[in-house]
Homo-oligomer: A and B are copies of this chain.
Amino acid sequence: MSVVTALDRPTGAIHALPSPYLLFLGDTVEMGFAKTALGLRDWAPDRCLGEWSLPSARVTTGLPRLSPAEAAAKGARAMVIGVANPGGIIPDSWMPELLAAIDAGLDIVAGMHARLSSITPLAEAAASQGRQLIDLRVPPADLAVASGLKRSGRRLLTVGTDCALGKKYTALAIARGLAARGVDATFRASGQTGIMLAGQGIAIDAVIADFAAGAVELLSPAAAPDHLDVVEGQGSLFHPSYAPVSLALLHGSQPDLFVVCHQPGRETILGHPGFRLPTIEAVIEQTVMLGRLTNPAIRCAGISLNTGDMTAEAAGRVIEETAAQLGLPAADPIRGGDAFERLLDACQA
């Protein structure tokens, strides 16, 4: 089997974002809708200069409040829409602030369903000022189908029993934990929030199905033999809507290692009450079986548990029980501690 090297592959289709950012909170009144901004504050503080919002907003990241013009004067290069609303739309009430950001010389970055570039006043202002409107959900152009060829470097993928239980933050925490140990590790973002955090990446769920595995190959390209890409997973092989995206990430990243992410206590697939959550064992078995296609040496490095809604004591207990039951390291990367160090040991091995 031939091996692809780093020089063989183009990178044009990967979004690369201008930073630092001004985080825009719109008129959001519920913290739950400001998840993206809060994630950026916590995980990419050096990319975030400040926040801006409408007077009616009731949420804050605690970062300095800066108008677009003030942020631009301090070196900001983009205003990032850091909130979502139920329809994923951009309300008219946000327009004056978005236009002010463009006038101040900032690009606009969004990961919503609504496309910035399809809003005429924004498109016109950006064109006349020479600014970019970056829609992270717009499928990249110029993708190729996956080659399936083995490539140099090592890769780790986070997979899950479901959506929305920590695959992104697990990948970030592992990449940072290993980097702190001196490992040459890179977080590879596959979703819009991850792309904002990393400053680059491809929203794999927005790619045409034929090219999805190929886009993952591009996202985690051939690298030095000791290099480790820690790839953000999406969805679950057991998710009735998103399993094809999860499979594209598995086949395309050709992972040597994977970490299963799970939220103890979750019993059914989010939004699909007719589907029972798979066991962690079932996820390991199916990931190995399908992942073997592009990497026969694939294996599970350990388990990441999202214990955010548990007491420290209960979390410690479920982490210990999970590790004992599966014979694999288990940890909540957000809690860290010895358990997480053991998980990092396994990812480094």
Q: Which residues of A contact B (CB under 8 A)?
A: 1-2, 139, 145-150, 204-210, 212-214, 237-238, 240-245, 247-248, 251, 272, 274-275, 286, 289-290, 293-294
Given A243-B247, A243-B251, A244-B247, A149-B274 contact (CB < 8 Å): yes
**Which residues from chain B contact A248 at a C-beta distance below 8 Å?**
209, 243-244
Given A1-B274, A2-B274, A274-B2, A240-B293 contact (CB < 8 Å): yes
Nearest B residue (CB) for A274:
B1
Q: Does A148 lie within 8 Å of B247, measured CB to CB?
A: no
**A245 interface neighbour in B242, B244, B289, B290, Cβ under 8 Å:** B244
Q: Does A209 lie within 8 Å of B204, measured CB to CB?
A: yes
Number of copies: 2
**A209 interface neighbour in B147, B148, B212, Cβ under 8 Å:** B212
The 7 A-B residue pairs with the shortest CB-CB distance, nearest first, are A148-B240, A1-B274, A244-B244, A205-B210, A145-B241, A146-B241, A244-B248
Instruction: Compute how far the CA of A242 lies from the CA of B145 in the bound complex, rounded to whole angstroms.
Output: 8
Instruction: Compute how far the CA of A275 lies from the CA of B254 in the bound complex, rounded to whole angstroms.
Output: 14
A86 CB to nearest chain B CB (Å):
15
Q: Does B148 lie within 8 Å of A275, measured CB to CB?
A: yes
Among A146, A204, A238, A244, the one with the most B-chain Cβ atoms within 10 Å of its Cβ is A244
**Which residues from chain B contact A242 at a C-beta distance below 8 Å?**
145, 210, 213
**A207 interface neighbour in B209, B238, B251, B272, Cβ under 8 Å:** B209
Instruction: Compute how far the CA of A148 lies from the CA of B273 in the bound complex, rounded to whole angstroms.
Output: 10
Q: Does A148 lie within 8 Å of B205, measured CB to CB?
A: no
Instruction: Compute how far the CA of A63 lies from the CA of B55 in the bound complex, rounded to whole angstroms.
Output: 71
**Which residues from chain B contact A290 at a C-beta distance below 8 Å?**
237, 243, 286
Listed by A's residue number, 29 A-B pairs whose Cβ atoms lie within 8 Å are: A1-B274, A139-B208, A145-B242, A147-B241, A148-B240, A148-B274, A149-B274, A205-B209, A205-B210, A207-B208, A208-B208, A209-B245, A209-B248, A210-B241, A212-B244, A213-B240, A213-B241, A213-B242, A213-B243, A213-B244, A240-B293, A240-B294, A243-B247, A243-B248, A243-B290, A243-B293, A244-B245, A286-B289, A289-B289
